[in-house]
């Protein structure tokens, strides 16, 4: 399986993403610069955290217009796995690939610490290696991670089981304790916590590696050639 790690000016978790895929999973991975005009040949797309374009105007607002985002949209429409973490999640929201928006943390302070998440839906290509209701430790590092959407959208997210992860002790004020959501098709996931920073015990925990393993397992299962 071949992953693309999209790199924007201001990305700072791209190396973490690359390490998670290459060194922990042993899969193919390449960095792709934001002005790329093709993502052909890649099986999954990763949008890392950071401060794309300095977070000017609004987090993810400028990155959303990068050339590569047209290709990310095409990949999503083709059913390929697309994962956006932290700033990557914010970009997916700005691009309309996921519903809702991000506001400043309720405390108005930057938060950087380990948090506990609950797996709300383990029947997805991103969470299949977890148990339903399992609690995991994943770090967060953001100033604008306070997820918000209108009541109608929240109802739809719940009914369609699009809420994949929630906080057990909400650190930022996110509506309904939401930490990660996916699109209705189930192939685009955005989350504020950083699974790529929790893929090895040397990093303080390995609860995040199952997310990447889930993507690989789903892809392999769907590409098995039946005799």
Is beta strand 111-119 parallel, antiparallel or unpaired with respect to 44-47? unpaired
The pLDDT value given to residue 56: 87
Distance CA 68, CA 163 (A): 27
86 a catalytic residue:
yes
Query: Which residue in 82, 176, 94 sits closest to 125, CA to CA?
Result: 82
Distance CA(76)–CA(199), nearest Å, equals 25
Active site residue 142: no
pLDDT of residue 227: 42
Considering the candidates 13, 71, 86, 144, report the single residue annotated as catalytic: 86
pTM of the model: 0.96
Per-residue pLDDT tens digits for 37-54 = 999 999 999 999 999 999
Cβ-based neighbours of 54, under 8 Å, separated by 6 or more: 9, 10
For the chain, domain boundaries: 2-222
The closest of 137, 146, 118 to 195, measured between CA atoms, is 137
Helix (H, G, I), strand (E, B) or coil at 133: coil
Distance CA 122, CA 50 (A): 27
Residues contacting 133, CB < 8 A, separation 6+: 118, 119
**What is the C-alpha to C-alpha distance for residues 226 and 209, in angstroms, rounded to an integer?**
28
Question: Which pLDDT tens digits describe the chain residue by residue (227 residues)?
Answer: 999 999 999 999 999 999 999 999 999 999 999 999 999 999 999 999 999 999 988 899 999 999 999 999 999 999 999 999 999 999 999 999 999 999 999 999 999 999 999 999 999 999 999 999 999 999 999 999 999 999 999 999 999 999 999 999 999 999 999 999 999 999 999 999 999 999 999 888 999 999 999 999 999 998 865 54
Beta bridge partners of 85: 191
Query: Is 13 an active-site residue?
Result: no
The rounded Cα 118 to chain-centroid distance in angstroms is: 16
Closest to 124 in 3D by CA, of 190, 48, 196: 190
> What is the spatial distance between Cα 182 and Cα 172, in angstroms, rounded to a whole number?
19
Q: Which CATH number fits domain 2-222: 3.30.390.10, 3.30.420.40, 3.40.50.720, 3.40.50.880?
A: 3.40.50.880
Catalytic residue (choose from 71, 94, 142, 194)? 194
Give the three-class secondary structure for 141: strand
Q: Residue 54 has what DSSP assignment? A: G
Q: Are 189 and 181 in contact (CB under 8 A)?
A: yes
Contact between 44 and 78 under an 8 Å Cβ cutoff? The reply is no
């Amino acid at each position: 399986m071949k992953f693309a790690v999209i790199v924007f000016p201001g990305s700072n978790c791209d190396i973490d993403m690359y390490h998670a895929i290459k060194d922990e999973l042993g899969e193919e991975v390449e960095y792709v610069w934001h002005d790329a005009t093709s993502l052909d040949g890649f099986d999954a797309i990763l949008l890392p955290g950071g401060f794309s374009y300095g977070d000017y105007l609004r987090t993810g607002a400028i990155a959303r217009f990068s050339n590569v985002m047209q290709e990310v949209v095409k990949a999503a429409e083709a059913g390929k796995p697309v994962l956006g973490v932290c700033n990557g999640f914010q970009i997916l929201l700005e691009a309309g690939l996921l519903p809702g928006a991000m506001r400043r943390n309720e405390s108005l302070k930057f938060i950087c610490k380990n948090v506990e998440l609950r797996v709300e839906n383990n029947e997805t290509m991103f969470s299949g290696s977890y148990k339903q209701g399992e609690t995991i430790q994943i770090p967060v590092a953001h100033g604008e991670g306070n997820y918000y959407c209108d009541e109608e959208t929240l109802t739809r997210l719940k009914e369609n089981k699009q809420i994949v992860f929630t906080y057990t002790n909400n650190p930022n004020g996110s509506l309904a304790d939401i930490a990660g959501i996916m699109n209705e098709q189930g192939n685009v996931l955005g989350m504020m916590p950083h699974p790529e920073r929790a893929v090895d015990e040397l990093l303080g925990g390995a609860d995040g590696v199952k997310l990447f393993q889930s993507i690989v397992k789903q892809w392999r299962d769907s590409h098995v050639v039946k005799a």
